Amino acid sequence: MSKVAIIGSGPCGLSILRSFHQAELKGEKIPEITCFDKQSDWGGLWNYSWRTGSDQYGDTVPNSMYRYLWSNGPKECLEFADYTFDEHFGKAIPSFPPREVLYDYILGRAKKSDVKKYIRFDTIVTSVSHNGKEFSIKSKDKKNNSLLNEKFDNVVVATGHFSIPFIPEYEGMKSFPGRILHSHDFRDAEEFRGKNVIVLGSSYSAEDIALQCYKYGASSVTIGYRNNPMGFKWPSGMKEVHYLDRLEGKKAVFKDGHTQDADAIVLCTGYLHHFPFIEDKLKLETNNRLYPPKLYKGVVWQDNHSLFYLGMQDQFHTFNMFDAQAWYVRDLIVNKASLPTDAEISEDISQWMAKEGKLEDPLQMIDFQTEYTKDLCSMVDYPEIDMELIRKHFHDWEHHKEDDILQYRNKSFSSAVTGTVAPLHHTNWLDAMDDSMETFMNTKF
């Protein structure tokens, strides 16, 4: 029997475990599976940790999520086609749940598929290499401090790419008298109540962390963008200015001449695709983009067709896209699907990357990723899901954000699997200070 290694038990790792389980239910033969996770539990980033820096074993903490994090897209856009929100919660719930609720949903499906038995927790993969025939994986059991070296026929890298922060330095940082942190280490907006906060960046972390600080009582929030401003209609107390030039003591001086005294600076400057454990010839090297290079259908390593990467794209679509990827990778591993010639693979990758190069705005980016996900869905037996409705939801969501960045999470969307229309939440997001599942669920919608 062939042997498969899956590295990571976050949403992507759980998608491929689920895909094997679904095949097994249909009476298909599945390979011998080993899944490694360096955390002590599953769920990846959704498994919140208060820790920053290192864990108790000296290993870097992967968590980048924070208290009070709510879904930043409608849950209807990420719903699993084979495990609906209605099935999990037994009732309709609002479209933008807090982290704990989505975590519960992810784990609900994982528990139902009985895949925990495959996962070795507290076990970090330290090396992946290929000798022309098979893979060698070195791993370390962190609890027992024991090392293993094992052989595998296929490797699936599902380690995520929002865990290792990209941290730039600006003039004056060394003598800045306040706190400087990256969004990776941001845990609780309450820390910044009454403070003047500077947020650098113009993507989702900058947007959400700036709004969190506003929501939980920062005195002022100044966002410094580098290339393009987000351009939302910020409420009073928030503003968006051009790029930090330098710090002079506690004074931040921006490129457009704007100055602001600051107590804290949050660097929302993104993450690195960082795979120090993978040998160079197998290593994905990319920035955060919709079509990383050298990956056929976004998942098959072009130079070695036994190696797969899941979820390495920049993400509008998430959980059901990860599923579509996982289902396809599974079919390749069990030889239910086959690959075209090397020339065709190369041509296909080039075409997608050329299309990606022409994208001009978020709506076109959404369309691109919807087309990509539809392409994958058309090749596998993933259950029916209305991707056209999801595309429309994402477009509406973009417009809602442009209309009012403080209100977009109060909207309702319909399920692309069941048609269920989400009830409105009892409290506006801006006034909902408690993000616990108990509070969120303990109400009649």
69 vs 29, 40, 212, CA distance in Å?
Answer: 40, 22, 8
Q: Does 7 bind ligand FAD (CB under 6 A)?
A: yes
| Binding residues among 120-179 for ligand NAP as defined by CB under 6 A | 162, 168
Interaction pattern, residues 96-135, with ligand FAD; x per rule: CB under 6 A = ----------------------------xx----------
In the numeric block, which tokens belong to residue 286? Answer: 């990319």
Query: From the list ligand NAP, Mg ion, ligand FAD, none, which binds 397 (C-beta under 5 to 8 Å, kind-based)?
Result: none
322-344 residues labelled b (16+ CB within 10 A) or e (exposed): bbbbbbbbbbbbbeeeeeeeeee
Query: From the list Mg ion, ligand FAD, ligand NAP, none, which binds 227 (C-beta under 5 to 8 Å, kind-based)?
Result: ligand NAP
Query: From the list ligand FAD, ligand NAP, Mg ion, none, which binds 420 (C-beta under 5 to 8 Å, kind-based)?
Result: none
Figure out which of the listed residues 16, 69, 81, 432 binds ligand NAP, where binding follows CB under 6 A: 69
Distance (Å, whole) CA 187 – CA 441: 23
Which residue's CB atom is positioned nearest to Mg ion? 288
Q: Does 245 bind ligand NAP (CB under 6 A)?
A: no
Q: Which is nearer to Mg ion, 273 or 425 (CB)?
A: 273
Q: Does 227 bind ligand NAP (CB under 6 A)?
A: yes
Figure out which of the listed residues 2, 49, 72, 286 binds ligand FAD, where binding follows CB under 6 A: 72
Q: How far is the CB of 254 from ligand NAP (least distance, A)?
A: 11
CB 179 within 8 A of CB 267: no
Choose the binding region for ligand NAP from 80-88, 118-126, 268-276, 402-410 (rule: CB under 6 A).
268-276
Q: Which is nearer to Mg ion, 259 or 287 (CB)?
A: 287
Q: How far is the CB of 358 from ligand FAD (least distance, A)?
A: 25
Figure out which of the listed residues 76, 79, 100, 208 binds ligand NAP, where binding follows CB under 6 A: 208
Q: Does 203 bind Mg ion (CB under 5 A)?
A: no
Choose the binding region for Mg ion from 131-139, 155-163, 275-283, 341-349 (rule: CB under 5 A).
155-163
Distance (Å, whole) CA 277 – CA 283: 9
Gyration radius from the chain CA atoms: 22
Query: From the list Mg ion, ligand FAD, ligand NAP, none, which binds 413 (C-beta under 5 to 8 Å, kind-based)?
Result: none
Q: Does 292 bind ligand FAD (CB under 6 A)?
A: no
Choose the binding region for Mg ion from 1-9, 265-273, 317-325, 336-344 (rule: CB under 5 A).
265-273
Figure out which of the listed residues 271, 275, 316, 440 binds Mg ion, where binding follows CB under 5 A: 271
121-158 residues labelled b (16+ CB within 10 A) or e (exposed): bbbbbeebebeeebbebebbebeeeeeeeeebbbbbbb
Distance (Å, whole) CA 207 – CA 184: 14
Residue 91 dihedral angles phi and psi, to the nearest 5°: -160, 165
Among 263, 285, 258, 264, residue whose Cα is nearest residue 274:
285
Q: How far is the CB of 161 from ligand NAP (least distance, A)?
A: 9
174 vs 177, 186, 194, 198, 249, CA distance in Å?
Answer: 9, 20, 24, 16, 9
Binding site for ligand NAP (CB under 6 A): 69, 71-72, 162, 168, 183, 200-206, 208, 226-227, 268-270, 288, 315
Binding site for ligand FAD (CB under 6 A): 7-13, 36-39, 44-46, 62, 64-65, 69, 71-73, 78, 124-125, 158-160, 162-163, 277, 311, 315, 318
